[in-house]
A and B are shown apart, each in its own frame.
Chain A
Amino acid sequence: MRCRPPRPRSQPTDVGLAVVCEKTGVNSLKIGISGVRGVVGETFTPELAVALAQAFGTYLDSGRILVCRDTRSSGPMVRAAVLSGLLAAGCEVVDLGVCPTPSLQLAVSRLGAEGGISITAGHNPEPWNALKFVRGDGLYLNPMQADELLDIFHQGEFAKAGWERIRTKIERADAVAHHLEILSGAFDVESIRTRRLRVAVDCCNSSCSLLSPRWLEALGCDVLAVNDDPTVPFPHAPEPGPRTMTQLRAVVLAGRAHVGFAHDADGERLGLVTETGEMLSEEATLAIAAEIQLRREVGPVVTNVSTSRGVERVAAKYGAPFLRTPVGQAFVSEAMIEVGGVIGGEGSGGVIVPRVQWTHDSSAAIGLILEHVARTGERLSELAAALPRFTILKHNMAVEPDRIYSLLQRMRDELEAEKLDYDETDGIKVSWPDGWVHVRVSNTESMIRVIAEAETAPRAYELLDWARDRVVK
């Protein structure tokens, strides 16, 4: 699959409530199902983090809660606010320090915690930060649970521990060692070790710096790590994709690496560079993971409505059931558990490998890919070349907030009139044999996102224009 580099997508894709920041006129705060996200120094204030932590502590009956963070410079501030809110709510707090979100998600059950808070804005730029709420089984809160949490938050009545019950100190624990243990048990480490693969990795100076190089070393790889210093700022946007992988590409070529891996800030998304130096679209990561997994076992594949059809084709090739959910990791995770999915994830580069856990885990995706390369000797460029070729275009249209939903409704009416079938899983998605276009509301900004994919570039542009015309008409 060769994709045109996407135009800059400024904001993440989630469901929820957007709040306009009056100061800058942009939506720099988002309270939604994947947590709460905002720009520090503007909307993401310590009071907000305190109140959310109090609400979460109240929601989880003042139980044991894990906390971790990525390496953003606002991390210590947000951490302190979260710790104070949790302690005030009577929680027992276990601080994992700087650590990837998937490590925390695995640690929740091992440490007998009721849940966790990961302080990370994932792939958002440095000025942002966010709280992601993890429940007792290691998954993100689902939309219903997120609503319950937000109701407590908005109501503002929190559990308050008096002096006799309040916890007097913060426990500490390491989640990375346990994560490495789980990873080592899930993959054929021996086969990988014997191949002594040469692997380049870009940790974006974030929490994966503490996990990924160790994991690759455990796999016996010759590791060429760049940006693996968690004490310095992000070297580029923490969003794996062709735009951010040029340095990694150079390392792959110069070091003659078998593969290059790029991490986001908290260990969810993975970007790939082939041994020939091709920077694959983030959409390719899941497609390649699906190709690998389905060769081992055929089973349901789950992704969201906005993910490339490449994944669908791969599933079809192996006769695997294929399911699309609304955009948002919680939806994908829960659907996978429900249908017993064998592989899943999102077009952003997030891959769910069920033998590790039911949530995006870039280290698990690395294990899956290296295991395949080691066992079969197949090159990453060969895997990439075998993928169905599509052009995917992503376009954002700024629209006044009060017009957004009426525009979408008008588009639905037109489609009804034209007797065109459309999918309403999340927004409006219209599909043809050779492509599709998906129109949905962004919740982070006052805009409508249009994503079009087709087998040829002209057709993709045609579909994009077709949808845009219907929106702005």
Chain B
Amino acid sequence: MRAIPTLKISISGVRGVVGESLTPTLLVRFAQAFGTYTGPGVIVLGRDTRTSGEMVRQSVVAGLLSSGCRVVDLDICPVPTVQLLVRERRARGGICITASHNPAEWNALKFINSAGLFLAEAQARQLLDIYHQGEYRKVAGAEMRAVEPSAGAIDLHIKTIMDALGPLRAERRLRVAIDSCNGAGSVVAPRLLEALGVEVVPLNVTPDGLFPRGAEPVEENLGQLSAAVREHGCDVGFAQDMDADRLAIVSERGLAVGEEYTLVLAAQYVLGRERGPVVANLSTTSALDAVAARFDCPVYRSKIGEANVADEMLRRGAVVGGEGNGGVIYPRLNFARDSLVGMALVLHLLAESGRTVSELIAELPRSFMVKEKLACRSDKIRAALRMVRDAYARWPMDLRDGVKVTTPEGWVLVRGSNTEPIIRIVAEAGDQESARNMVEGVRERVRSCFET
């Protein structure tokens, strides 16, 4: 049998397994392609804490310098810090060295444009064309620029948040547990929390890249955090992923409330301060609509993916947005999925409302989400989607990214993955059983499509 390839070159960047497919030569070439794409100028570079980070960093530095770029090297820092710095330095772009939630053996390059946003699809395709063409800009030694270390980036990130939101104005000092997964958040989150004026219970804040848990901030990975919240009587627990763009919340009772609610609570605080449009992707919980409705604000939906959400936010002039996977974008502070901004917003909500996380969640309409993956040959995906479309023809439908059907019970989204031969099914309804039934209904219909 053919070995499963470990290299993925796509519009979301290049990722692979260190020691196998992610070689320094490949990385140097990608960095040169990016330097060729952006032209000579400042490129901001950051990385998460993975053990391969130093090797990848050196490869990228070599490629960027060779193509005439000046490298502002932030070393270990969250992805949103890189995005913030790109704008602050008016850089040509940025490269983040992180495989986000992938396991420790993976690493990846993610490319950021001069607006501090991940490359849009067309931009990414242009970069890939340059990469594949293999003709990179090469400057002579005399034109080569230096590497500039930038130790102040993290301070700037914290200052940006503190200047806008200020320390908490709570009647009593909140106690907060933070689990940074030994990732890039380790170097910022405890400091930000101190600045906000909370008592910090730190977990997994050694930036050594040795994963203490699964990197995704989802319930099954939050046992240690839940226990710490209970043990120390914390008001809230926060969990970050490796590159600190996503945030999950554990309630004061030690329960993972689900990463869908991070954006909901953050939006609740933002809309209380300023009203305006809200943007989320198609698979984000409808609890967000309930919160927006309280403030008479519209919610616009976008295709899945940070670049798409950001694009829609720009178009709609959104005051807040993000994704249900725990990614909060608050453009006033940082046009990026930023777990640090998310933390600050949620803490301010807790402090100003005087309510607990559980109470805030209880005020939202009860809803349950079921997420499912279904193996499906990539050439069958379109047929499967058409089948779903026909079967649910009598209900309102959104076809921008797969098929999203809204029924009286709730909604179900069916879409093919961009990177793997699978179909993803997500459903949300008022109770667990309805949501499950909706997923099962789709699954039955899709299966019949394979059999005929």
Contacts and interface: CB of A to CB of B under 8 A. Distances in A.
Interface of A: 39-42, 45-47, 49-51, 54, 72-74, 76-78, 80-81, 83-85, 87-88, 126-129, 160-170, 233
Given A84-B56, A85-B24, A45 B19 contact: no
Contacts of B25: 47, 50-51
A45 B107 CA distance: 24
Contacts of A83: 54-55, 58
Nearest to B63: A46
A163 B18 contact: yes
B431 interface: no
B144 A74 contact: yes
Contacts of B56: 84
A39 B138 CA distance: 11
Contacts of B51: 163-164, 166, 168
B62 A84 contact: yes
Contacts of B105: 162-163
19 contacts: A40-B144, A42-B140, A46-B66, A76-B144, A77-B62, A77-B144, A84-B24, A84-B56, A87-B58, A88-B24, A128-B141, A162-B17, A162-B20, A166-B18, A166-B52, A168-B51, A168-B53, A168-B208, A169-B54
Contacts of B61: 76-77, 80
A163 B32 CA distance: 24
B64 to A, nearest CB: 9
A40 B55 contact: no
Nearest to B68: A41
Nearest to A50: B24
A49 B125 CA distance: 28
Interface string B118-133: 0000000000000000
B65 interface: yes
A83 B55 CA distance: 7
Interface in B15-39: 17-20, 23-25, 27-29, 32
Given A77-B65, A164-B51, A170-B58, 19 more contacts: A40-B66, A42-B140, A45-B138, A46-B32, A46-B63, A50-B25, A76-B146, A77-B144, A81-B66, A87-B54, A87-B55, A126-B141, A126-B142, A160-B19, A162-B17, A163-B104, A163-B105, A169-B54, A170-B54
Nearest to A81: B62
A163 B50 contact: yes
A157 to B, nearest CB: 12
A162 B141 contact: no
Interface string B379-415: 0000000000000000000000000000000000000
Contacts of B52: 163, 166
Interface in B288-343: none
Contacts of A78: 62
Given A88-B55, A168-B51, A160 B66 contact: no
B142 A127 contact: yes
Contacts of A164: 51
Interface of B: 17-20, 23-25, 27-29, 32, 50-59, 61-63, 65-66, 104-105, 107, 138-144, 146-147, 208-209
A88 B65 CA distance: 19
A166 B25 CA distance: 16
A300 B36 CA distance: 56
A49 B147 CA distance: 18
The residue in A46, A54, A74 that gathers the most chain B C-beta atoms within 10 A of its C-beta is A46
Nearest to B20: A160
Nearest to B56: A84
A48 to B, nearest CB: 10
Contacts of B141: 40-41, 72-74, 126-129
A47 B54 contact: no
Contact of B54 (A45, A51, A168): A168
Contacts of A74: 140-141, 144
B18 A162 contact: yes
A81 B138 CA distance: 14
B54 A77 contact: no
B209 to A, nearest CB: 7
The residue in A80, A160, A162 that gathers the most chain B C-beta atoms within 10 A of its C-beta is A80
Given A49-B62, A87-B55, A163-B50, A81 B139 contact: no
B140 A127 contact: yes
A80 B65 contact: yes
Contacts of A128: 141
B45 to A, nearest CB: 11
A84 B59 contact: yes
Contacts of B18: 161-163, 166
Contact of B28 (A46, A162, A163, A170): A46
A47 B209 CA distance: 27
B346 to A, nearest CB: 33
B19 A81 contact: no
Contacts of B29: 47
Contacts of A87: 24, 54-55, 58
Contacts of B23: 88, 160
Contacts of B142: 73, 126-127, 233
B232 to A, nearest CB: 31
B28 A47 contact: yes
Contacts of B144: 40, 73-74, 76-77
Contacts of A88: 23-24, 55, 59
A77 B61 CA distance: 7
Given A76-B144, A84-B24, A166-B55, A42 B138 contact: yes
A355 to B, nearest CB: 36
A162 B106 CA distance: 10
A165 B53 CA distance: 13
A50 B28 contact: yes
Nearest to A51: B25
List of 9 A-B pairs having minimum Cβ-Cβ separation, nearest first = A162-B19, A74-B141, A84-B58, A81-B62, A77-B65, A41-B140, A87-B55, A80-B62, A84-B59
Contact of B24 (A40, A54, A73, A162): A54
A50 B50 contact: no
B186 to A, nearest CB: 14
A77 B27 CA distance: 14
A255 B25 CA distance: 52
Given A88-B23, A164-B51, A45 B65 contact: no
A76 B19 contact: no
A71 to B, nearest CB: 11
